């Protein structure tokens, strides 16, 4: 049996297209009906794509909000985190250059600042005794003829050179009952002057060679005074003498011996 020939596809399509006539009246009728529909209905149809997009955005926002709410705790339930102490400010270079303060050691009191004491008063210097000097020597003694309330002090000067100038001073301390009672010397009266002066705490006897020359030898200068009793101590009675022999000068000092 012979096969039936298949129609050509392109030929069939062209035939169908040529035979299809669009119903123009029906199309116009549908357009008029659409325009006569209420405005909300038309807007609802035209806004459907926008509403769909807004729905997608809202879904995403709600999803992110859910994630945040699920991950965050309420402020009241949070446990406060331990705060680290803020670091101390580092000292400036100027502060580091200063001398560091003295470190205070706990449990130990600082010693008090030393108080400066005033310097001690200068010590009283007792004049040095010099019984001999160059050509001149000396000695002092309470005369052995002193008795009771009367006494005499003797100063003996010895020179090995001819003396052309001489000055002798004898002091008697004003202890109880002491009063001036006289003076004398072995030097001729016309060659010497004698005087006595009363001061607050002593009597001062002075012998001065006024002219002439004393030959080498020993000369006595005596002072006389009253006293309270024979027990008076003459240790505070003193003497001094200065003599000149030619171009030399000599000086001696001393005190009477203690009782």
Write the pLDDT tens digit of every residue in 193-215.
Answer: 999 999 999 999 999 999 899 99
Q: Residue 187 has which token pair?
A: 């030097």
What is the band of 221 on the pLDDT scale with cuts at 50, 70, 90? very high
Domain that holds residue 222: 132-255
Q: Are 137 and 236 found together in one domain?
A: yes
Number of domains in the chain: 2
Question: Three-state SS for 82?
Answer: coil
The Cα–Cα gap between 242 and 130 comes to 12
Record the pTM. 0.52
In this predicted model, what pLDDT tens digit does every residue of 10-56 receive, in sequence order? Answer: 676 666 666 655 666 666 666 656 655 555 554 444 445 445 444 54
The Cα–Cα gap between 163 and 249 comes to 9
CATH number at residue 236: 2.60.40.1530
Assigned domain for 105 exists = no
Assigned domain for 113 exists = no
For position 176, what pLDDT does the model report?
A: 93
Report the percentage of the chain scoring pLDDT > 90: 49
For position 125, what pLDDT does the model report?
A: 37
Q: Are 150 and 226 found together in one domain?
A: yes
The helix (H) or strand (E) run that includes residue 93 is helix 93-97
Assigned domain for 114 exists = no
The Cα–Cα gap between 29 and 134 comes to 173
Phi, psi for 95 (deg, rounded to 5): -70, -35
């Amino acid at each position: 049996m012979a096969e039936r020939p298949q129609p050509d596809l392109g030929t069939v399509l062209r035939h169908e297209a040529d035979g299809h006539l669009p119903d123009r009246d029906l199309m116009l009728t549908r357009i008029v009906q659409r325009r006569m529909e209420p405005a909300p209905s038309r807007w609802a149809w035209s806004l459907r794509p926008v509403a769909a997009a807004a729905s997608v955005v809202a879904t995403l926002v709600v999803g992110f909000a859910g994630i945040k709410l699920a991950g965050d705790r309420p402020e009241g339930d949070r446990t406060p985190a331990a705060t680290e102490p803020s670091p101390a400010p580092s000292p400036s270079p100027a502060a580091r250059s200063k001398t560091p303060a003295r470190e205070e050691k706990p449990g130990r009191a600082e010693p008090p600042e030393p108080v400066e004491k005033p310097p001690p008063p200068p010590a009283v210097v007792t004049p040095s005794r010099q019984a001999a000097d160059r050509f001149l020597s000396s000695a002092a003694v309470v005369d052995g003829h002193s008795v009771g309330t009367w006494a005499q002090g003797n100063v003996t000067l010895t020179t090995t050179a001819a003396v052309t100038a001489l000055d002798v001073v004898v002091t008697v301390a004003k202890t109880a009952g002491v009063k001036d009672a006289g003076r004398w010397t072995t030097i001729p009266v016309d060659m010497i002057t004698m005087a006595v002066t009363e001061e607050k705490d002593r009597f001062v006897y002075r012998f001065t060679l006024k002219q002439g020359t004393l030959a080498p030898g020993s000369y006595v200068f005596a002072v006389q005074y009253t006293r309270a009793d024979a027990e008076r101590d003459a240790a505070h009675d003193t003497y001094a003498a200065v003599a000149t022999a030619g171009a030399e000068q000599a000086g001696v000092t001393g005190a009477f011996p203690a009782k």
